[in-house]
């Protein structure tokens, strides 16, 4: 061991475990997680693979708290296209983009509070939301409807409202992806995005929602794996002292927990290594290391813990910095314990959110000839499926065929992907109204070509856009501003004349 004065290996291991937020596989806590909670682990994160239903999640979190009463239980639940708590059926609330389309901050706060009450009831204490990115680039492959919109002032006011609402429901909010993931064509799960623009542009656009989140009292901020040359020309934000300590802490005045985006994502792990990225993030000013979306074993967690301890012993990571990070995690745990004690329990969860459905209905926008609605009878629905996005989750169902069939029995459906397109996308039972369902039509050439062919054959077809409505086409066009279950139901009601 170095001659530097450092804590014992056991003490350092406990500090290192305190700053990890690992995921795990299974619907009950595995033995290694229970053991680690007794050895210093301060947090865990739940994914869709950990969720069966609300009763099961409540039991899971109770078992975690039997090992450590103040454990932070995090989840990546945006209540939109990104849903974990309702991944089996799709979110019963609209996402950020739909709320931004309505532009009623009081409604946004109400929806977020509704979610907070639900999450708190099953034992979740930290939510990796809201997404505070300004979606200024329509070609963005990973943000899109996860953002409140393209206008920074709109995004700022709804970010603040979402933070207030969620935390009023008893769950800590986490604004992401600092300093802003909106203006990119690259998905940081796969490569390192570069955010251009000078500092004045960043202040006016990307940073505005984060300032609003800090002012609203957000408890946590998640870093983005983003290269922002105007702030740091060399290091991604997650690993940048200039961005985390200088900008976020000193300039923006944030005093809560800085959480990394998943440290196994290729934007950082390909360049700095899995464990190397975690150590560098802590040294730069991060307080908690999110891991386990893809690397979710005890061996993965141990690799990070041991690398953190070794970095302290070698002097690469100051022990004071690690202790500071662990202290902040402990402060968030204390906040969560107090919030749980003070929360007002809501009604039992019945599998739906009335406020969410009401908000989704308000978000639908109709363009073209409204005289074509409602449909004259049972329709033939053609859904065009874009490639799945790892951030959204491959398990979450989407589309309007299901809810429309319930409202209009006899509805038929077909779903096509880029590699399985028929010669005639408009083909279906004769005499039926045709509904073409798309997601981000403007981003997919194959989808646009198929829709153009279908509209040539059937110019009376209705187009339903479940993504960003950058391209409006068809005799009548419905934009739901998201592909949640609530958005699909709202669109189906209009098509069927059910409201």
pLDDT in tens, 84-123: 999 999 999 999 999 999 999 999 999 999 999 999 999 9
Q: Is the pLDDT of residue 499 over 90?
A: no
pLDDT (tens digit per residue) in 351-403: 789 999 999 999 999 999 888 899 999 999 999 999 887 777 767 999 999 99
Q: Is the pLDDT of residue 333 over 50?
A: yes
Average pLDDT over every residue of 328-338: 97
Average pLDDT over every residue of 60-65: 98
Q: Is the pLDDT of residue 492 over 70?
A: yes
Cα–Cα distance, 340 to 358 (Å, whole number): 28
Main-chain phi, psi angles of 495, to 5 degrees: -65, -40
Q: Is the pLDDT of residue 139 over 70?
A: yes
pLDDT (tens digit per residue) in 241-253: 999 999 999 999 9
Q: Is the pLDDT of residue 49 over 80?
A: yes
Domain at 9-342: CATH code? 3.20.20.300
Main-chain phi, psi angles of 257, to 5 degrees: -90, 130
The residue among 223, 259, 220 whose CA lies nearest residue 339 is: 220
SS3 content of the chain, % helix, strand, coil (to 5): 45, 10, 45
* Coil vs helix vs strand at 418: coil
Element (H, E) at 437: strand 434-438
Could you tell me the pLDDT band of residue 7, with boundaries at 50, 70 and 90?
low
Structure tokens, 300? 């993965």
Tell me if 480 sits within 8 A of 398, measured CB to CB.
no
Cα–Cα distance, 30 to 311 (Å, whole number): 28
Q: How many residues does the chain have?
A: 499
Structure tokens, 362? 């308000």
Q: Which of 158, 189, 225, 442 is catalytic?
A: 189
Q: Is the pLDDT of residue 213 over 70?
A: yes
Q: Give the pLDDT of residue 1.
A: 33
Cα–Cα distance, 38 to 179 (Å, whole number): 35
* Coil vs helix vs strand at 463: strand
Q: Give the pLDDT of residue 422.
A: 92
Average pLDDT over every residue of 309-333: 97
**261 among known catalytic residues:** yes
pLDDT cut 70: percent of the chain above it: 97
Strand 462-465: give its sheet, edge to edge: 365-368, 476-479, 462-465, 434-438, 380-384, 412-416
Q: Which of 81, 127, 261, 287 is catalytic?
A: 261
C-alpha distances in angstroms, 206 versus 95, 97, 136, 176, 392?
Answer: 20, 16, 9, 11, 22
Residue in the block written with tokens 């065929």: 401
Q: Which of 16-20, 136-140, 210-214, 405-409 has the lowest mean pLDDT?
A: 136-140
Q: Give the pLDDT of residue 6.
A: 55
pLDDT (tens digit per residue) in 396-422: 999 999 999 999 999 999 999 999 999
3-state secondary structure 23-75: CCCCCCCCHHHHHHHCCCCCEEEECHHHCCCHHHHHHHHHHHHHHCCCCEEEE
Q: Give the pLDDT of residue 318.
A: 97
Q: Is the pLDDT of residue 2 over 50?
A: no
Average pLDDT over every residue of 300-313: 97
What pTM does this model have? 0.95
Instruction: Please state, rounded to an integer, the average pLDDT across all residues of the chain.
Output: 94
Q: CA dihedral defined by 243, 246, 249, 250, rounded to 10 degrees?
A: -150
The residue among 313, 291, 309, 290 whose CA lies nearest residue 300 is: 291
Q: Is the pLDDT of residue 141 over 80?
A: yes
Residue 44 or 352, more confident = 44
Q: Is the pLDDT of residue 53 over 90?
A: yes
Tell me if 274 sits within 8 A of 263, measured CB to CB.
yes
Q: 445: exposed, middle or buried (C-beta count within 10 Å: 0-12, 13-18, 19+)?
A: exposed
C-alpha distances in angstroms, 339 versus 121, 166, 174, 258?
Answer: 12, 11, 15, 19
How does DSSP assign 356-405, residue by residue? HHHHHHHH-EEEE-GGG-S-SSS-EEEEE-PPP-TTT-TT----SHHHHH
Structure tokens, 403? 């809810």
pLDDT (tens digit per residue) in 339-350: 988 876 777 777
pLDDT (tens digit per residue) in 409-459: 999 999 999 999 999 999 989 889 999 999 999 999 999 999 999 999 999
């Amino acid at each position: 061991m170095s001659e530097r004065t450092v804590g014992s290996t056991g003490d350092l291991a406990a500090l290192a475990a305190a700053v990890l937020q690992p995921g795990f596989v299974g619907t009950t806590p595995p033995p290694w997680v229970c053991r680690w909670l007794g050895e210093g682990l301060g947090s865990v994160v739940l994914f869709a693979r950990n969720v069966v239903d609300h009763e099961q999640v409540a039991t899971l979190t109770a078992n975690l708290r039997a090992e450590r009463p103040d454990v932070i239980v995090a989840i990546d639940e945006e209540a939109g296209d990104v849903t974990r708590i309702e991944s089996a059926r799709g979110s019963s609330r609209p996402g950020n983009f739909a709320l931004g389309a309505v532009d009623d901050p009081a409604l946004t706060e109400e929806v977020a509070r509704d979610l907070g009450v639900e999450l708190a009831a099953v034992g979740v204490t930290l939510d990796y939301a809201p997404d505070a990115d300004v979606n200024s680039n329509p070609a963005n492959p990973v943000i899109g409807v996860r953002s409140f919109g393209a206008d920074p002032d709109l995004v700022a006011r709804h970010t603040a409202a979402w933070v207030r609402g969620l935390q009023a429901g008893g769950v800590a909010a986490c604004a992401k992806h600092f300093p802003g993931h909106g203006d990119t064509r690259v998905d940081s799960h796969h490569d390192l995005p570069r955010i251009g623009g000078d500092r004045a542009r960043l202040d006016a656009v990307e940073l505005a929602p984060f300032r609003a989140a800090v002012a609203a009292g957000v408890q946590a901020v998640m870093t983005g794996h983003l290269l922002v040359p105007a702030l740091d020309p060399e290091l991604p934000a997650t690993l940048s002292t200039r961005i985390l300590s200088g900008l976020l802490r000193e300039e923006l005045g944030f005093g809560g927990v800085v959480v990394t985006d998943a440290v196994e994502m290729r934007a950082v792990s390909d360049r700095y290594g899995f464990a190397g990225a975690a150590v560098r993030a802590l040294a730069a000013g991060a307080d908690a290391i999110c891991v386990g979306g893809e690397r979710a074993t005890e061996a993965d967690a141990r690799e990070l813990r041991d690398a953190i301890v070794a970095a302290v012993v070698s002097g690469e990571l100051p022990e004071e910095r690690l202790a500071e990070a662990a202290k902040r995690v402990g402060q968030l745990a204390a906040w969560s314990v107090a919030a749980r004690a003070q929360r007002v329990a809501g009604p039992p969860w019945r599998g739906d959110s009335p406020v969410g459905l009401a908000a989704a209905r308000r978000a639908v926008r109709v363009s073209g000839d409204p005289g074509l609605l409602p449909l004259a009878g049972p329709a033939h629905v053609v859904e065009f499926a874009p490639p799945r996005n790892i951030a959204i989750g491959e398990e979450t169902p989407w589309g309007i065929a299901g809810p429309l069939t319930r409202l209009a029995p006899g509805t038929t459906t077909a779903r096509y992907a880029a590699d399985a397109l028929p010669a005639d996308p408009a083909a279906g039972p004769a005499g039926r109204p045709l509904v073409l369902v798309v997601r981000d039509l403007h981003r997919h050439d194959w989808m646009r070509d198929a829709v153009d062919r279908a509209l040539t054959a059937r110019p009376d077809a209705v187009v339903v856009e479940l993504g960003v409505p950058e391209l409006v086409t068809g005799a009548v066009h419905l934009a739901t501003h998201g592909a949640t279950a609530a958005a699909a139901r709202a669109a189906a009601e209009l098509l069927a004349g059910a409201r």
